[in-house]
Amino acid sequence: MQAVGIIVEYNPFHNGHHYHLQSAKEETNADCVIAVMSGHFLQRGEPAVVSKWARTKMALKAGADLVIELPYAFSTQQADTFANGAVAILEHLKASYVCFGSEHGNTQSFLKFSRLLKEHEHAIDEHVQSYLKVGNSYPKALSLAMKNITNEQIGLNMEQPNNILGVSYVKAIEKQHASIKPHTITRIQSHYHDKMLSETEITSATSIRHALFQDIIDVKDLSRYMPNPVIQGLKDYQTQIGFLHNWELYFPFLKYQLMTHSPESLQAIYEIEEGIEYRLLNAIKEALSFEDFLSKVKTKRYTRTRLQRMCVHILTNTKKNELSKSPSTAYIRLLGISQIGRLYMKQIKKDVSVPIVSTVSQCKHVDLSLDIKATNIYSSPLQEPIRSQFLKQEYTQPPIMI
């Protein structure tokens, strides 16, 4: 049996994700699809709209055979660290391919870009720093530096977010001397602005979240953009938990947490540096909402994503001594598994060199503290007794099977 790996957030799952999952399986001729999926906090520094268990069900229903949790230590980090974690997990699980969507769509370009990056590492780094200093974004600076140094036109636009991630995946494979191979699929995109729902069946997860949280659309009316079981999953979640998660629900807790800090104690939080702690503590006093807070803190230097990631680490009170840019993949946490997934695991299990966590309560020797904490914090806006039940699930939930 051969497996293809995909790296996902499903926030929430939509038709574009379905296309990606099916294409990945077909194009690599795989028997088994392994989805490495972020836990409760995501790469843009946001809480997931529904729990990892609800998203696992969606992934399984859409055809994933194994759903593995991308730990907090990777899921809330910038592209290179995020990619390193996900690729390492897929390598541990002997996937033949990692298959990622990209705006560009040509795997060779990613390989070439990555090779040039490595060959000219020092010179490119220097140029990137200069371009950053005159006010360019990091992706723009990287594109300019690459062009200047290599004088090659690869046509890989680094200002497109999935191209950035693609390069990170290829870099991770090379860095880890992994045997997994990269393969990219062109993303089907809407021609509209990311935040606007498209007129086709494919729209971005961003546009879906925007429409839901601005009360532009109701879950039940999303059938154009997502499979029916996903809509049912979202509706069930709303009924059971009471809401879909967004940053505003966590704002009272973020404000409370910041209020307990001095600038000195805030400096101990991961990613808090360069004096941003003073800016944060000053802005929070009068901030009326999370959006209001971000708008008060944001500058050219601090992008929204970077600030949101800081806010996630503040919310979870994650310290510099708890997290780094190079965490290790110390375990494989199985969130969901299909019949095919079970056959595949049976085949590879003996060759997996890290512990496989099925149920947390049975794995006392594995350090899952950051992921457990993330779930605890993610549950903060829930009412009792639902909150306590939710927390219990973190310890007692075995891999979901459908």
Report the interface residues with its own copies, using CB under 8 A. 252-253, 255-257, 259-262, 285-289, 316-317, 369, 373, 376-377, 380, 384-385, 387-388, 391-392
Is position 18 annotated in a ligand binding site?
A: yes
- In 3D space, the residue among 261, 222, 169 whose CA is nearest the CA of residue 49 turns out to be 222
Q: Which is nearer to its own copies, 300 or 365 (CB)?
A: 365
Tokens 């069930």 found at: 236
Is position 20 annotated in a ligand binding site?
A: yes
CB of 209 to its own copies, least distance (A): 22
Helix, strand, coil shares of the chain as percentages rounded to 5? 50, 10, 40
The tokens describing 10, both together, are 């499903």
Is position 333 annotated in a ligand binding site?
A: no
Q: How far apart are CA 234 and CA 301, in angstroms?
A: 36
**H or E segment to which residue 38 belongs:** strand 32-38
CB of 9 to its own copies, least distance (A): 23
CB of 369 to its own copies, least distance (A): 7
What is the amino acid identity at position 28?
Answer: T
Is position 177 annotated in a ligand binding site?
A: no
What is the amino acid identity at position 202?
Answer: I
Is position 253 annotated in a ligand binding site?
A: no
Contact 164, 103 (CB under 8 A): no
Q: Which is nearer to its own copies, 96 or 318 (CB)?
A: 318
Q: Which is nearer to its own copies, 108 or 321 (CB)?
A: 321
CB of 93 to its own copies, least distance (A): 30
CB of 45 to its own copies, least distance (A): 17
The conformational region for residue 4 under phi > 0 = left, psi -120 to 50 = alpha, else beta, is beta
Q: How many CA atoms are closer than 13 Å to the CA of 395, on its beta-carbon side?
A: 9
Q: Which is nearer to its own copies, 124 or 377 (CB)?
A: 377
Is position 188 annotated in a ligand binding site?
A: yes
Q: Which is nearer to its own copies, 23 or 257 (CB)?
A: 257
Annotated binding site for ATP: 7-20, 101, 162, 187-188
